[in-house]
Structure 1
Amino acid sequence: MNFQEITQVAIALLTTLGLKVVGAIILFFIGLKLIEFCTRFLKRIFRSQQIEPTLITYLLNIISVTLRIVLIVAILGFFGIETTSFAALLAAVGIAIGAAWGGLLANFAAGAFLIIFQPFKVGDFITAGGVTGTVTEIGLFTTAVNTLDNVMTIVANNKIFSDNIQNYSSNPYRRVDLLAQLAHGVDHNQAIALLKAKISQIPHILDNPGPDVEILTFNLAGPVLAVRPYCHNDHYWQVYFDTNKAILETFTEAGYSVPEQRYTVNAATNGAHSFIPTTSEIG
């Protein structure tokens, strides 16, 4: 075979290979367009079924990645590469990555369960994974929570799913728990009535259930009242602060003195002194 024949064969091979490369590139871009069209179509279908937006994003990401892998395998088959061996290699790589990234996959699985079971959703106020705040995003591997002091905190999904979750936004209202100390000698029935009347004037307090004001316990200074108004979660802290102010204003207007503890010193027969605590009168 002379040089001219070798050149002709080389040109023919390069032409065939070049056409295949161009065809593969065209096929790749056409495939990407079809995948985008498919995901947009599925997105419209999911939205029409009123599926949770976070779950829609989650499913579309999985479908998109799967279709891209299928596209790459199809292009390799177009070049005559044995895809069975490639699939086996891909599976082996997946197993190796799974073993190395066990924690990452655990977060991925936990994220799937969080989206499916929905113990909370974006916008809910929760305590989970040792963090308290408002959920801003539920991702594939992590959840973003904006804390009360306006700090964005990223928590691993597996840490959230494996621990207790408190969702303060699930119920229509929550209770504010506060204490009010009375001195001995104060008419507790009068104090309770005055407090209830004052608290009922606080904005965002619920009438049903109404605020609870009852004697909770006793100490050396006198009775301790449990003051428990109810409100929507969005108004919790404002009601908390307003109720504290209401307690102070109510007792001040009623003329109640600040409770205090006093001690009586009695002389013992052996010359020593003993200290016996007694409760004080008002003042």
Structure 2
Amino acid sequence: MSYQKIFDFLFELGASLGIKIVYALLVLIVGHKVVKFIKKRLLSSGKIVKLDPGVRSFFSSFMVVALYIVIFITVAMILGIPTTSFITALASCGVAIGLALQGALGNLAGGIMILIFKPFKVGDYIST
């Protein structure tokens, strides 16, 4: 095998991989800017809709995490990393965590409902 063939192979590999890396970095940077913009809009739009600050913070944090997961999977797909096994593992972890934290997640859902619907006010007396 001649040095010219090795050099040509490495040059072609570097060119194709370099383009993928640049494209992935571009998607990562633009995605990060979009997530920051969406987070700012979510936090400010809650003032218009009159949402509780805790609800606004919870939903904006949830959306930010979900969008970053989508960006991560998109970048992995651009780089040619197989994402089916990653998505399967992520779903399995979600099911395992959901089953392990069943009671706590029920309490979390109840707390979110109390924050959204506000059935109680400060000064209300609650008896059991």
Q: Note the C-alpha offset of 1:9.
A: 0.7
CA distance in 2 between counterparts of 1:29 and 1:52 reads 31
Aligned to 1:64: 64
Q: Note the C-alpha offset of 1:62.
A: 1.1
Find out whether 1:78 has 2:78 as its counterpart.
Answer: yes
Q: Note the C-alpha offset of 1:78.
A: 1.1
- The amino acid that maps onto 2:78 is F
Aligned residues: 125
Aligned to 1:94: 94
- The amino acid that maps onto 2:16 is T
Find out whether 1:48 has 2:2 as its counterpart.
Answer: no
Find out whether 1:118 has 2:118 as its counterpart.
Answer: yes
Segments of 5+ residues of structure 2 without an aligned counterpart are: none
How large is the RMSD of aligned CA atoms in angstroms?
2.4
TM-score, normalised with respect to structure 2:
0.78
Aligned to 2:35: 35
- The amino acid that maps onto 2:23 is G
Q: Note the C-alpha offset of 1:70.
A: 0.9
Aligned to 2:124: 170
CA distance in 1 between counterparts of 2:79 and 2:64 reads 23
> Which structure has greater strand proportion?
1
Segments of 5+ residues of structure 1 without an aligned counterpart are: 125-168, 172-283
Q: Hey, which bits of structure 1, 4+ residues long, moved more than 4 A?
A: none
CA distance in 2 between counterparts of 1:7 and 1:107 reads 62
Native 8 Å contact 2:52 2:116 kept in 1: no
CA distance in 2 between counterparts of 1:27 and 1:93 reads 26
Native 8 Å contact 2:51 2:116 kept in 1: no
CA distance in 2 between counterparts of 1:116 and 1:26 reads 38
Structure number with greater CO (CA < 8 Å, separation at least 6) is 2
Aligned to 1:24: 24
Q: Note the C-alpha offset of 1:58.
A: 1.3
Q: Note the C-alpha offset of 1:27.
A: 1.6
> Which structure has greater helix proportion?
2
- The amino acid that maps onto 1:170 is D
Q: Spell out, residue by residue over 1:94-128, the C-alpha distance to the aligned partner (whole angstroms, 9 max, x if none).
A: 1122233445434433332332333557xx4xxxx
